[in-house]
């Protein structure tokens, strides 16, 4: 058993690695820059956590997903592995304490970092003092302008590499087109191209597109016919509640999940679903990161997603136990128009974006030339109300400002209250002797939580109140008093997203959206929307379409999706169907009559007619004005 296998078994309890994990880990262990393409649920975090534990020093993990970051840090701590994180929403002092600990504490193995923090002087100074053994880039598609979630702050990673020239990079992602694969390696400064690809094919996952008028009625049919656990994805928060209510009214156990719920509510609902107490979770795309429930039997999308990358990730949460599961997209012709309308709403006029940018600076009272490297709590509802903006305009403008590198908008994350002692144990003892009333509370704190002299620790005011037999307000009062006396730094609980200024605030004339960049972003988004529409409407094997989108040119028909099963009804083998289809393509260079076409293909007439009829039924062949057959598109 090699050292990597020992670490895997010791900390995760697994007897062996999954496909490609060991090869990726060995590559990183040899000091090679490595890109790992692994589908959702493929065990990406193992590939950087294991090699980092095998070496002295600390691994820096860059990820934009704060909720996932916090989840992974807690999971590592539960295994007895020391880990910390820095992200927008933390105070300067909190970040300073974490980074200092990363320099001083040789047992601290992981520092998770949101990308906007990489450019700060504080981070750049401290990282050079750390013994870094690996730089891991999660969601690495974010570094590519061709990716579906481009973040300019990821471009700072290559500058961090210049400070750590001997440290290898492991970039991981679950979704990357061939163009993005090349772009990731170039922008991360890979010394040589080195990619591990785990096939994205999921043989146990049946992809279905259902063209239905009444989606809610069809959802009830799915939930009745497919046994086991499921996820239903919808676009907005209100819809999660409505669909969940519909299911429950029909005696189908369900709950709903979105980012607007409290952390406690989200955790409780997620745990109930994972344990099987709740059968179906109705959710926005906020649900799924870090979900490792293996026995999900179906994933239903009621609304069309914006891109196939998101769809592939969400659908891929079904059937991780390798048993059959279904990924079902409910489609109505009206959905096409709705999705196309999102192109315009997601790309408002440049002057409107600039108005939002100017209002944002005024909202935070940032002077021109100020604000760089600063984070601000952001209430979208308050901002919209104050400036009478349309909420979609603000959201779209913030996304475009982020893609242009002016600011970062973090997701809404609930941060618990936390504190750190500012004084030594000797000074604290003297304070306790002089302050008898506070002494009892300090003893309660020290009994309840450890490590508060070296790092900020989360505290629960309600739990402390319960232990002390007093009201929460009393506990809060003690914490505020100790903060005023400079015994502790106390940061109360909050739950808001953050706006982080990656550049100083500019006057609106200096906010540049070049026509090329704006047009290219819009064009890229339009292409991704069209790919979703094509997936939903194009009569070609669903699995094959997805795999080809992600660069698998050797993908073959799955035989089990809705398109393939329709073909299977023709009583032709896959080989016969494909052979006749190829021959039809060769012969039909110009419009022909049915008789001419049938006679031109050297197969039994009834079989040729069956294939032609299927092509007509599915819009591949059409009859022109002279009633001659011709290809409708050249995509098949």
> What are the extents of the domains in the chain?
3-197, 205-331, 340-414+497-525, 417-492, 570-631
With a cut of 60, say whether residue 2 has pLDDT above it.
yes
Rounded to 5 degrees, φ, ψ at 232 are -120, 120
* Selection from 501, 506, 464, 503 nearest residue 482 by Cα: 464
Model confidence over 404-460: pLDDT tens digits?
Answer: 889 998 877 778 899 999 999 999 999 999 999 999 999 999 999 999 999 999 999
Model confidence over 212-244: pLDDT tens digits?
Answer: 999 999 999 999 999 999 999 999 999 999 999
* Selection from 539, 560, 141 nearest residue 313 by Cα: 141
Average pLDDT of the chain, as a whole number: 91
Model confidence over 11-26: pLDDT tens digits?
Answer: 999 999 988 999 999 9
The CATH number for 205-331, chosen from 3.30.429.10, 1.10.510.10, 3.40.50.300, 3.40.50.720, is 3.40.50.300
Decide yes or no: CATH 1.10.10.10 for domain 570-631: yes
**Six-digit token string for 172:** 């991981």
Model confidence over 552-579: pLDDT tens digits?
Answer: 888 888 989 999 888 777 777 778 888 8
Residues whose CB is less than 8 angstroms from the CB of residue 243 and which lie 6 or more positions away in sequence, other chains included: 216, 219, 232, 234, 254, 256, 282, 302
Across 142-181, the runs of DSSP E, i.e. the strands, are 169-173
With a cut of 90, say whether residue 295 has pLDDT above it.
yes
Per the DSSP assignment, residues forming a β-bridge with 59 are 110, 134
What SS3 state is found at 291? coil
Model confidence over 103-133: pLDDT tens digits?
Answer: 999 999 999 999 999 989 999 999 999 999 9
What SS3 state is found at 36? strand
What SS3 state is found at 567? helix
The CATH number for 417-492, chosen from 1.10.101, 1.10.3470, 1.10.10, 3.40.1000, is 1.10.10
How far is CA 139 from each of CA 136, 292, 527, rounded to the nearest angstrom? 10, 17, 21
Let me know: does 149 contact 399? Beta carbons within 8 Å.
Answer: no
Give me the residue label for tokens 């974006």.
353
Rounded-to-integer distance, Cα 520 and Cα 513, Å: 11
Model confidence over 141-187: pLDDT tens digits?
Answer: 999 988 888 999 999 999 999 999 999 999 999 888 999 999 999 99
Residue 151, Ramachandran bin (φ over 0: left; ψ between -120 and 50: alpha; else beta):
beta
Residues whose CB is less than 8 angstroms from the CB of residue 198 and which lie 6 or more positions away in sequence, other chains included: 19, 20, 36, 37, 38, 39, 42
Instruction: Please give the CATH number for the structural domain made up of 340-414+497-525.
Output: 1.10.10.10
Decide yes or no: CATH 3.40.50.300 for domain 3-197: yes
Domains 340-414+497-525 and 417-492 belong to one CATH topology:
yes
Q: CB-side exposure of 56: number of CA atoms within 13 Å?
A: 5
pLDDT band at residue 290 using 50, 70 and 90 as cut-offs: low
* Selection from 116, 59, 98, 130 nearest residue 418 by Cα: 98
Length of the chain, in residues: 636
Rounded-to-integer distance, Cα 49 and Cα 76, Å: 9
Let me know: does 87 contact 118? Beta carbons within 8 Å.
Answer: no
What SS3 state is found at 198? coil
Quote the pTM value.
0.82
Query: Strands across the sheet with 498-501, in order?
Result: 375-377, 498-501, 407-409
Rounded-to-integer distance, Cα 531 and Cα 549, Å: 9
What SS3 state is found at 447? helix
Residues whose CB is less than 8 angstroms from the CB of residue 1 and which lie 6 or more positions away in sequence, other chains included: 9
Q: Residue 123: what pLDDT? A: 95
Rounded-to-integer distance, Cα 63 and Cα 316, Å: 20
Per the DSSP assignment, residues forming a β-bridge with 377 are 498
What SS3 state is found at 203? coil
Strands 375-377 and 498-501: antiparallel
């Amino acid at each position: 058993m090699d050292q990597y296998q020992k670490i895997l078994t010791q900390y995760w309890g697994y007897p062996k690695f999954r496909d490609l994990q060991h090869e990726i880990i060995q590559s990183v262990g040899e000091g090679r820059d490595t890109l790992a393409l692994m589908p959702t649920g493929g065990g990406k975090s193992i590939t950087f956590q294991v090699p980092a534990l095998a070496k002295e020093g600390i691994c820096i993990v860059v990820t934009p997903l704060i909720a996932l970051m916090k989840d992974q840090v807690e999971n590592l701590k539960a295994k007895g592995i020391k880990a910390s994180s820095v992200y927008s929403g933390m105070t300067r002092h909190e970040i300073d304490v974490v980074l200092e600990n990363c320099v001083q504490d040789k047992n601290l193995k992981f520092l998770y970092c949101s990308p906007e923090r990489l450019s700060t002087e504080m981070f750049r100074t401290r990282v050079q003092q750390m013994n870094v053994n690996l730089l891991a880039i999660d969601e690495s598609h974010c570094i590519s302008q061709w990716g579906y979630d481009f973040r300019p702050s990821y471009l700072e990673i290559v500058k961090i590499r210049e400070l750590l020239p001997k440290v290898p990079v492991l970039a991981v992602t679950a979704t990357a087109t061939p163009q993005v694969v090349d772009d990731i390696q170039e922008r991360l400064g890979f010394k040589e191209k080195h990619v591990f690809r785990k096939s994205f094919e999921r043989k146990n996952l049946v992809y279905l597109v259902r063209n239905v008028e009444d989606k809610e009625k069809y959802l009830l049919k799915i939930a009745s016919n497919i046994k086991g656990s499921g996820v239903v994805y919808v676009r907005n928060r209100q819809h999660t509640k409505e669909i969940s209510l519909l299911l429950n009214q029909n005696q189908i156990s369900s709950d709903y999940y979105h980012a607007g719920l409290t952390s406690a509510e989200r955790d409780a609902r997620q745990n109930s679903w994972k344990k099987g107490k709740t059968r179906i979770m109705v959710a926005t795309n906020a649900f799924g990161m870090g979900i490792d429930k293996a026995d999900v039997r179906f994933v239903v999308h009621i609304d069309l997603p914006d891109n196939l990358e998101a769809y592939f990730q969400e659908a891929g949460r079904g059937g991780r136990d390798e048993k059959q599961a279904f990924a079902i997209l409910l489609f109505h012709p009206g959905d096409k128009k709705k999705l196309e309308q999102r192109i315009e709403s997601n790309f408002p006029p440049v002057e409107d974006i600039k108005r939002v940018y100017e209002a944002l600076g005024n909202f935070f009272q940032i002077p021109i030339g100020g604000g760089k490297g600063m984070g601000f709590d952001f209430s979208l509802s308050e901002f919209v109300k104050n400036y009478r903006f349309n909420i979609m305009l603000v959201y779209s403008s913030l996304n475009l400002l982020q893609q242009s590198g002016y600011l970062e908008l973090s997701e809404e994350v609930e941060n618990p209250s936390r504190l750190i002692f500012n004084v030594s144990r000797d000074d604290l003892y003297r304070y306790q002797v002089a302050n008898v009333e506070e002494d009892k509370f300090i003893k309660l704190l020290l009994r309840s939580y450890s490590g508060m002299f070296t790092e900020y620790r989360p505290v629960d005011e309600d739990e402390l109140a319960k232990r002390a037999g007093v009201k929460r307000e009393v506990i809060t009062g003690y914490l505020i008093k100790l903060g005023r006396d400079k015994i502790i730094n106390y940061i109360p609980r909050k739950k808001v997203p953050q706006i982080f200024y990656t550049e100083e605030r500019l006057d609106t004339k200096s906010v540049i959206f070049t026509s090329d960049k704006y047009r290219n972003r819009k064009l890229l988004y339009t292409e991704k929307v069209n790919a979703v529409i094509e997936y939903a409407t194009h009569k070609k094997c669903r699995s094959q379409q997805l795999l080809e989108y992600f660069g698998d040119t050797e993908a073959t028909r799955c035989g089990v999706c809705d398109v393939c099963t329709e073909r299977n009804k023709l009583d032709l083998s896959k080989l016969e169907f494909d052979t006749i289809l190829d021959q039809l393509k060769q012969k039909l260079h110009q419009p022909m009559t049915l008789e001419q076409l049938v006679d031109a293909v050297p197969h039994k007439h009834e079989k040729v007619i069956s294939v032609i009829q299927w092509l007509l039924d599915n819009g591949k062949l059409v009859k022109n004005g002279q009633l001659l057959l011709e290809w409708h598109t050249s995509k098949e």
